[in-house]
Structure 1
Amino acid sequence: MLEKQQKMSNEVKGFYLYGVCSALKLERSREDIEMIEGIDSAEKAFFAPYKDIRAVVSEVSLEEFGSEEIERKAKEDLQWIKDKASRHDEVIKAAIKIDGDSLAIIPMKFGTIFKTKKNLADSLEKNYLRFKELFETLKGREEWSMKIYLKLRLLENGIKKTSVVIKEKSKELCSMPAGRTYFLEKEIDEMAAAEAKKSVSGYISVFLEKIKLLAEEAKENKILEKEITQKSEPMIFNGAFLVKKEKVDEFQKEIQKLRAEYEKIGFVFELSGPWPPYNFV
């Protein structure tokens, strides 16, 4: 026990930065933030104020959370990375809820660590004006994520019913002997598949044209593979939208309209949020 205490006392600590937010109501919320468990479960989160902003931080062991150690765990212990990244997000969400108003928070990427308080203070000073600009951009706005998946077979079947060329080909099947239809059926399937794939970008453009009217900013992100999404359908769009709070209901209703109109032909819409605005900082 004594050996463990000595090890803990000798441990070099750093400061893990979750995000930066306004310093308004700092005294009222100081105790609230100190109830939140940090990314290192042995430490609580706290505010590190600078002028009229505050950093949301907690102490961490540099032995466990050093950049080299995080890189090693990213290769060897993905579950640790997932758990800590999830805790990172939870702390940011908890910090947002403390003030209970339209608090803007600038989230930091996972693994942002400073070795000393001075390093942290220097970073806040250096980026102060940039942070103030971002507060104005993010104030009263929320980030929403929309992913679209495609049931390709459903879209292909719809094309077979609407394509003039394919319908003409299909008529030929009726006059052919049963044993000779295979190659024509295969040709029809290939034509429908090609037309379906060609039409996807056009559909996405239509969707975005409607959705972007209700968003302040939009950003397209990398398409995720099935191994990551754990879905049977391929992802065809992955985007983030910065939406004014007063327009969120209208934004959600527009997604619902798209679902009602396009899910029957194969497009699956997945809306989630609000999220910390990682995509707009």
Structure 2
Amino acid sequence: MPLIYVFGFVPEGNEKPGLPGIEPQTEVAYVTSDGISAACCEVPESDYDQEALQTNVENMHWLKDRAYHHHHIMHELQQHASMVIPLSFGTVYEKKEGLLSLLNERAADMKRLFSELQGKQEWSMKLYADRSVFDPQFQQTEADIQAKYEEIEQLPRGKQFFEKKKLSNWLKERADQELKKKGEQLHSLLEPHTSDSIRKKVWEKKLSGRTEDMVWNGVYLFKDEEAAKAAADILRGEQEKLTKEETGIKIEAAGPWPPYHFAVLEEKETTS
């Protein structure tokens, strides 16, 4: 018996036809109730029941294309409907009745979200630093750091080794603080143009796939398209300054995305 894979929700009347489903030879269909349409498709129980799905998502070969396709469908719906409530990859219902029940119970909450998100855009802003460039440049421009080096040079040779090691650790902390400060400065420049923002955990290199350190990771819900353009202009100007100063810092902004971080349906409280 097939299960129902759900991509997300759009207002009734904003459905986009002809989208391919999550599996080959399937197509996105819509289940509609109380003014809300769920974009969904049938999937085989053998791959998408709870146990099978948990196993499959650990298989990167199986997951990669499907996760990308899920995001692609959400982007297509966002472009077509201008507002969408995206769901995470792997949201599955056993029966149509369960999905209809959700639509009926949460229709008012979804309509409120659609109203709040109308015309707004989600973007991400990440900050990367090439530490082989930034750290030496930072040390050269800090007067107190140069003074500490000069103090160490006056010490006996045996003590210099340990003091230089302590100084190296201290310098790393100072450089970390300076990079965080730069991220906060950029964040504060974007804030006036946003309705909401979220500071996220920075990724390790094995996750980002980059040689540089990620030193800032934020997502921003801009008030409208003009606000997003204004923010892009600000970041462009800031990047020009950073490049001119040879800081090794790179700003990467991307979007607009479906509002994964801001179109969140709060859990309903239950009473016993």
Q: With structure 2 as the length reference, what TM-score do the two structures score?
A: 0.85
Task: Give the match for residue 92 of structure 1.
Answer: 74
Task: Answer with 1 or 2: which has the greater Rg.
Answer: 1
Unaligned regions of 5+ residues in structure 1, if any? Answer: 1-11
Note if 1:245 corresponds to 2:225. Answer: yes
Note if 1:42 corresponds to 2:25. Answer: yes
Deviations 1:48-70 (A, max 9, x none): 22122211111111211112111
Distance in 2 (alpha carbons) for counterparts of 1:205 and 1:234: 16
Distance in 1 (alpha carbons) for counterparts of 2:138 and 2:131: 11
Task: Give the match for residue 96 of structure 2.
Answer: 117
Report the RMSD for the aligned CA atoms in angstroms. 2.6
Distance in 1 (alpha carbons) for counterparts of 2:199 and 2:67: 22
The letter of the residue matching 1:161 is: Q
CA contact (8 A) 1:49 1:55 kept: yes
- C-alpha change, 1:224 and 1:194, in structure 2 (3 Å) is closer
Task: Give the match for residue 106 of structure 2.
Answer: 127
Identity within the alignment, %? 23
Distance in 1 (alpha carbons) for counterparts of 2:206 and 2:63: 17
Structure 1 residue 21: deviation in Å? 0.7
Structure 1 residue 175: deviation in Å? 9.9
Structure 1 residue 207: deviation in Å? 1.5
Structure 1 residue 84: deviation in Å? 1.1
What are the residue-to-residue correspondences of 1:133-212 with 2, within 5 Å? Answer: 133-169=112-148, 183=161, 189-212=168-191
Task: Give the match for residue 23 of structure 1.
Answer: 12
CA contact (8 A) 1:45 1:58 kept: yes
The letter of the residue matching 1:273 is: G
Task: Give the match for residue 215 of structure 1.
Answer: 194
The letter of the residue matching 1:17 is: V
CA contact (8 A) 1:166 1:191 kept: no
The letter of the residue matching 1:133 is: R
Note if 1:60 corresponds to 2:38. Answer: no
Distance in 1 (alpha carbons) for counterparts of 2:76 and 2:213: 33
Distance in 2 (alpha carbons) for counterparts of 1:201 and 1:194: 11
Structure 1 residue 144: deviation in Å? 0.4
Deviations 1:28-85 (A, max 9, x none): x4xxx2x21110112100122212221111111121111211111223x122112211
- The alignment partner of 2:194 has SS state of coil
Deviations 1:165-223 (A, max 9, x none): 222355679999xx99x848767655533321232332222121111111111012232
Higher share in helix: 1
- C-alpha change, 1:25 and 1:276, in structure 2 (3 Å) is closer
Deviations 1:3-41 (A, max 9, x none): xxxxxxxxx111111110111355xx4xxx2x2111011
Structure 1 residue 98: deviation in Å? 3.3
- The alignment partner of 1:137 has SS state of helix
How many residues are matched? 259
Distance in 2 (alpha carbons) for counterparts of 1:89 and 1:187: 47
- The alignment partner of 1:251 has SS state of helix
The letter of the residue matching 1:91 is: I
CA contact (8 A) 2:133 2:248 kept: yes
The letter of the residue matching 1:38 is: G
| Misfit runs of 4+, over 4 Å | 169-176, 182-191
Distance in 2 (alpha carbons) for counterparts of 1:225 and 1:175: 39
The letter of the residue matching 1:22 is: P
Task: Give the match for residue 82 of structure 1.
Answer: 64
Task: Give the match for residue 261 of structure 1.
Answer: 241
Distance in 1 (alpha carbons) for counterparts of 2:89 and 2:14: 26
Q: With structure 1 as the length reference, what TM-score do the two structures score?
A: 0.83
